[in-house]
């Protein structure tokens, strides 16, 4: 009776054999550290990185996979540093800076890192959290910053060779990003492309106005007054900018967009002011196509409103 043939070696086993043979052939050479790292990596649990847009639930998913609230998920909390969660004998967090040895980090009450061992997020390559956990025995989970976060975008562009970063030597060690030649070419190409997209407006006030019939008529009056005030203030800011920068040749060309901004602010101011125009009874009112007479919602003798009209848009 013959036994069954042994199962073929798995892909990992075959790669392990290959790396082992390479270590023998290249032993002592400059490639050795890399080969040793590759050999060690094959014995580690699978690495799973969770990537996605800002505030899309990456850390929440990670916590669900571990079965514990390890990563911070507060509304204001951002994952600003790539964080590895590995199975470990004891609980420990180390911050690995771009330069220098790892530093211990104070854990917070839930196990998330409370600080970065005195380092700034941009100086940290990664945080490594060791946590005894059955779930992490089979895989190391890696939490990553939101893809569209402002701080990570220039870094990504620098990695693509489109920007070049310069870091101050002292002080706050601020980083300044400059366009590279390749970056400038890419930008020029983009400028020459057609622009089929219609402009987008994200205006919470407009959204509230759309649903006005669900609320009280007074809500609309309040909203319109707030908006009139807000747009007036913004117009003042833009006009001030115009005064300050119009005469400066270096920026004069790009200030043309300020004119568009002003036009839009004036249009918004005209619109919200029109909602407060008094009707026949001289009270401020929300104009309604269906029942203009019934929709008067303001208070009698509202001076602010009358002043609003006088100072309205040109």
Ligand X SMILES: Nc1nc2c(ncn2[C@@H]2O[C@H](COP(=O)(O)OP(=O)(O)OP(=O)(O)O)[C@@H](O)[C@H]2O)c(=O)[nH]1
Residues forming the site for ligand X (CB under 6 A): 52, 54-60, 73, 75, 78-79, 146
Distance of alpha carbon 152 from alpha carbon 81, whole angstroms: 10
Shorter beta-carbon distance to ligand X: residue 58 or 86 = 58
Pick what 133 binds: Mg ion, ligand X, none; C-beta below 5 to 8 Å, kind-dependent: none
* Interface map 272-301 toward Mg ion (x if CB under 5 A): ------------------------------
Smallest separation (angstroms) from Mg ion to the CB of 57: 8
Distance of alpha carbon 40 from alpha carbon 16, whole angstroms: 9
Please give the DSSP secondary-structure letter assigned to residue 107.
Answer: B
Please give the DSSP secondary-structure letter assigned to residue 212.
Answer: G
* Interface map 77-116 toward Mg ion (x if CB under 5 A): --x-------------------------------------
Pick what 146 binds: Mg ion, ligand X, none; C-beta below 5 to 8 Å, kind-dependent: ligand X
101 in Cβ contact with 136 (< 8 Å)? no
Pick what 242 binds: ligand X, Mg ion, none; C-beta below 5 to 8 Å, kind-dependent: none
Shorter beta-carbon distance to Mg ion: residue 133 or 149 = 149
Smallest separation (angstroms) from ligand X to the CB of 152: 10
Locate 95 and state its tokens. 């911050």
Pick what 56 binds: ligand X, Mg ion, none; C-beta below 5 to 8 Å, kind-dependent: ligand X
61 in Cβ contact with 52 (< 8 Å)? no
Shorter beta-carbon distance to ligand X: residue 74 or 300 = 74
11-26 and 32-43 are packed helices; what angle lies between their axes, rounded to 10 degrees? 160
| Residue whose pair of structure tokens reads 């009707």 in the numeric block | 279
Shorter beta-carbon distance to ligand X: residue 75 or 248 = 75
Shorter beta-carbon distance to ligand X: residue 57 or 292 = 57
Residue among 289, 266, 293, 269 nearest 279 (CA): 293
Region binding Mg ion by CB under 5 A among candidate stretches 19-27, 56-64, 227-235, 269-277? 56-64
Residue among 39, 37, 34, 32 nearest 15 (CA): 39
Distance of alpha carbon 166 from alpha carbon 169, whole angstroms: 9
Q: With 0-12 CB in 10 A as exposed, 13-18 as middle and 19+ as buried, what is 23?
A: middle
Smallest separation (angstroms) from ligand X to the CB of 69: 10
Pick what 75 binds: Mg ion, ligand X, none; C-beta below 5 to 8 Å, kind-dependent: ligand X
Shorter beta-carbon distance to Mg ion: residue 59 or 152 = 59
How far apart, in Å, are the Cα atoms of 30 and each of 21, 22, 37, 291?
Answer: 16, 12, 13, 84
Q: Is 59 in the site for Mg ion (CB under 5 A)?
A: yes
Instruction: Tell me which residues touch Mg ion (CB under 5 A).
Output: 58-59, 79
């Amino acid at each position: 009776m013959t036994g069954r043939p042994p199962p073929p070696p798995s892909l990992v086993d075959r790669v392990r054999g290959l790396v082992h043979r390479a270590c023998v052939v290249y032993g002592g050479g400059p490639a050795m550290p890399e080969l040793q790292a590759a050999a060690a990596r094959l014995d580690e649990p699978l690495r799973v990185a969770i990537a996605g847009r800002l505030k899309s639930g990456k850390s929440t998913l990670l916590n669900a996979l571990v079965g514990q609230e390890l990563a911070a998920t507060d509304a204001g909390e951002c994952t600003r540093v790539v964080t590895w969660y590995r199975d470990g004998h004891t609980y420990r967090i180390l911050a690995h800076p771009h330069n220098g040895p790892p530093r211990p980090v104070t854990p917070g009450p839930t196990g998330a890192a409370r600080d970065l061992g005195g380092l700034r997020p941009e100086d940290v390559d990664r945080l490594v959290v060791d946590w005894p956990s059955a779930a992490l025995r089979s895989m190391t989970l890696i939490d990553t910053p939101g893809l569209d976060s402002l701080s990570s975008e220039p870094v990504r562009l620098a990695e693509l060779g489109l920007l070049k970063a310069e870091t101050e030597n002292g002080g706050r060690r601020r980083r300044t990003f400059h366009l590279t030649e390749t970056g400038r070419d890419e930008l020029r190409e983009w400028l020459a492309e057609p622009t089929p997209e219609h402009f987008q407006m994200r205006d919470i006030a407009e959204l509230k106005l759309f649903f006005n019939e669900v609320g009280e008529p007074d809500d609309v009056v309040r909203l319109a007054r707030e908006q009139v005030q807000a747009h007036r203030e913004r117009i003042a800011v833009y006009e001030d900018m115009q005064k300050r920068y119009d005469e400066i040749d270096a920026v004069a060309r790009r200030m043309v967009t300020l004119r568009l901004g002003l036009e839009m602010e004036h249009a918004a101011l005209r619109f919200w002011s029109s909602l407060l125009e008094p009707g026949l009874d001289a009270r401020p009112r929300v104009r309604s196509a269906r029942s203009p007479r019934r929709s008067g919602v303001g208070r009698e003798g509202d001076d602010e409103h009358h002043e609003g009209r006088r100072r309205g848009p040109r």
